[in-house]
Structure 1
Amino acid sequence: MITTLTINPALDLYSRVDKVFPGEKLRCEKAKLDPGGGGVNVSRVIQRLGGETTAIYTHGGYTGEVFKDLLEKEGVKQDVVEVAGPVRQNIAITETSSGELYRLGFPGPTLTETEYEDVLTKLNLYKKADFWVASGSIPPGVPNDFYARVAKKARENDVRFVLDTSGKAYSGILEEGAYLLKPNMNELEDLVGEKAGDEQEQKELLLKVLEKYPIKVIVLSLGAKGAILATKGSVRHFPAPTVEHISSIGAGDSMVAGMVYSLSRGDELEKAILYGLACGSATIKSPGTELLQKEDVEPLYQTLLNKVSNNDLL
């Protein structure tokens, strides 16, 4: 089973308008609401792929009730931690005249020490999970090393821990260790405090990190260029499939979901990366906050398998 953790979920509101400009009321189309936030999106994708998952997240306020109902409709198992503040809302608007996507993100409710400790305690119920997947930002009031505390608990319980976050939320994670980290190019600097310009510098930096710290795998997401898979002493680049870019919202979460779901089936790490890339690309071709459809994933995955096999990389 795959357990996901979202300390800062978001009720995502998406709509479209002809043109975005200041000073006037913008007449948008009917809004679409989705339950979002990194770990929740990972669970939603795993559910669509046919995997077994439970989403742990903080729940509060009227927005939390809407959030919970939406997740129930998708059939995702959920285990909430009640907090005083309401689930935050994020807004995404597509300007149809240009195709540009505008995204407004908000910080979320301030959590008390008791509330975020309750989240850590909740994980005690999932010690037999195959993976704990934590993804997304941390809200106000939560210490920067919160995910490192999750990593420590995972290590103590022999659970493989996967993390996808950014900024100061990476604090302490290198020292504490993890099974898999999935930064993008900007987040790599957040993680290690060093810049890496070209691909060769990125590969060298990843190998240095894996040699120094108790991290098993780092997958560096390169967007349309694919991803770099780094394990101790080994690093290689994998391509992404070519798709029409409609919206990148949720693509990173979908990639994580695809990788972890593939690994949970017993697939080799290299194939899991390709499956993750296929899932991320399937979401990129979906509008707004919509995530992938399962029927879009397999053709993209097979294309990547053929491409990589033909180049003798697998």
Structure 2
Amino acid sequence: MIYTVTFNPSLDYIVSVDHFKLGQVNRTHAELLYPGGKGVNVAIVLGHLGMKAVALGFTAGFTGDKIQGMLAEQGVATDFIKIDNGMSRINVKLRSDEESEINGMGPVIAEADLEKLYEKLDQLKAGDTLVLAGSIPASMPGDIYERIMARLEGRGIEIVVDATKDLLLNVLPYHPFLIKPNNHELGDMFGVKLETNEDIITYAKKLQDKGARNVLISMAGDGAILVAENGEIIQSPAPKGQVKNSVGAGDSMVAGFITGYHQNDGDLKAAFKMGVATGSASAFSDALATAEDVEKVLAEVNSFGI
């Protein structure tokens, strides 16, 4: 089974405004409402691709109920922990001449709530996959990812971590199955500017030296690179298409990689190609990619002769 953890899921309210003007009344010409959060996005896309996943995390208030209800409508299984106080956050994403975001805070997560999450994670079995994705709320311990991975260490659970800088660097001693920094995040980790693919590969290998098994680097319009645990370096250009939506593309790449890995008996090259196709398909869509969207892009990725 595949599990995703989103500590702070959200309702993403996406509004489109022609020529937004600060300090004035602006009217939308389109509105969308989605359940959000990186782990939630991964679970949704996994479902689109025919994979069973359970979304774990914390919800609160009427917004938490709405998140859970919308996921149920999409066929996503959830096992959220309900927080008694506060409400799950609402993130406002403004699409206009420039994209802007206002992200809510979310509820305070107490130690007792964390213990409930640990109890759920203790039920995972060898062969399960766990996705830890996104930032850590201020009310939680900053080392929560490390605590979870230390608790599950040695149990045969493949853990995927999609986080930034120190959050990612600090979990490497626990040998995550997959990490997915983008090229800019990779450079920031080492305080360098990466100019070439060779630079990216060099520093991805440094993350392997620190403990990561597979390092997947997304590079937006420049494609992607996988530095695999079997020693392979696999590269792909970016598929062609009009980018409509940057939200969720990285999460979709993670979901695609996991899907390709499980559907092809652990073939890392097949996983990489599925990851590239799925991330791109979401970027080319107004919402998270469907299986049909992915199949179209995968045909192009397969034509690259990787």
Structure 2 length normalisation: TM-score?
Answer: 0.92
1:231 equivalent in structure 2: 228
- Aligned AA for 1:34? Y
CA distance 1:12–1:45, shift in 2 (3 Å): same
After superposition, residues 1-314 of structure 1 pair within 5 angstroms as 1-29=1-29, 31-83=31-83, 84-95=85-96, 98=97, 100-128=98-126, 130-170=128-168, 172-189=170-187, 192-198=189-195, 199-210=197-208, 212-232=209-229, 233-265=231-263, 266-287=265-286, 290-307=287-304, 309=305, 313=306
The Cα shift of 1:48 comes to 0.8
1:196 CA displacement: 4.2
How far residue 189 of structure 1 moved from its aligned partner, in angstroms, is 4.2
Aligned mates of 2:93, 2:78 — CA distance in 1: 25
CA offsets 1:231-275 (integer angstroms, 9 cap, x no match): 354434222211111111110111100100111112511111111
For structure 1, the residue ranges without an aligned partner over 5 or more in a row are: none
Deviation by residue 1:79-132 (Cα, 9 ceiling, x = unmatched): 01122331111111222xx4x432222333332222233222221222255211
Q: CA–CA distance in 2 between the matches of 1:124 and 1:162?
A: 17
Q: 1:189 to 1:81 in 2, by over 3 A?
A: farther
- Matched position secondary structure for 1:214: coil
| Offset from partner CA, 1:267-311 (integer Å, 9 cap, x none) | 511111111111111111112xx211211111211211121x2xx
How far residue 171 of structure 1 moved from its aligned partner, in angstroms, is 5.3
User: What's the Cα RMSD here?
Assistant: 1.8
Structure 1 CA distance for aligned equivalents of residues 22 and 261 of structure 2 = 47
Contact 1:13 1:31 in 2 (8 A): yes
Distance in 1 between residues matched to 2:211 and 2:166, nearest whole Å: 19
- Range moving further from structure 2, 62-71 or 104-113: 104-113
2:2 counterpart letter in structure 1? I
Aligned residues: 302
Whether contact under 8 Å (1:8, 1:108) holds in the other structure is yes
Matched-pair contact (CA < 8 Å) for 1:132–1:159: yes
> Do 1:251 and 1:284's aligned partners in 2 also have CA atoms closer than 8 Å?
yes
Query: Structure 2: where are the runs of 5+ without partners?
Result: none
Single out whichever of 143-152 and 45-54 deviates more from structure 2. 143-152
Q: Distance in 1 between matches of 2:274 and 2:26?
A: 40
Q: Distance in 2 between matches of 1:169 and 1:103?
A: 22
Distance 2:178 2:260 in 1: 14
Structure 1 segments of 4+ aligned residues over 6 angstroms from their partners: none
Shift of 1:218: 0.5
Query: Is the Cα contact below 8 Å between 1:148 and 1:173 reproduced in 2?
Result: yes
State how far apart, in whole Å, the 1-side matches of 2:176 and 2:147 are: 11
8 Å CA contact 1:144, 1:171 repeated in 2? no
> Structure 2: how far apart are the matches of 1:120 and 1:169?
19
**Aligned residue type for 1:25:** V
Deviations 1:197-241 (A, max 9, x none): 22222211111231x222210101111211111135443422221
* Higher mean C-alpha displacement, 100-109 vs 128-137: 100-109
Residue identity (%) = 31
The aligned amino acid for 1:4 is T
Partner-residue secondary structure (3-state), 1:90: strand
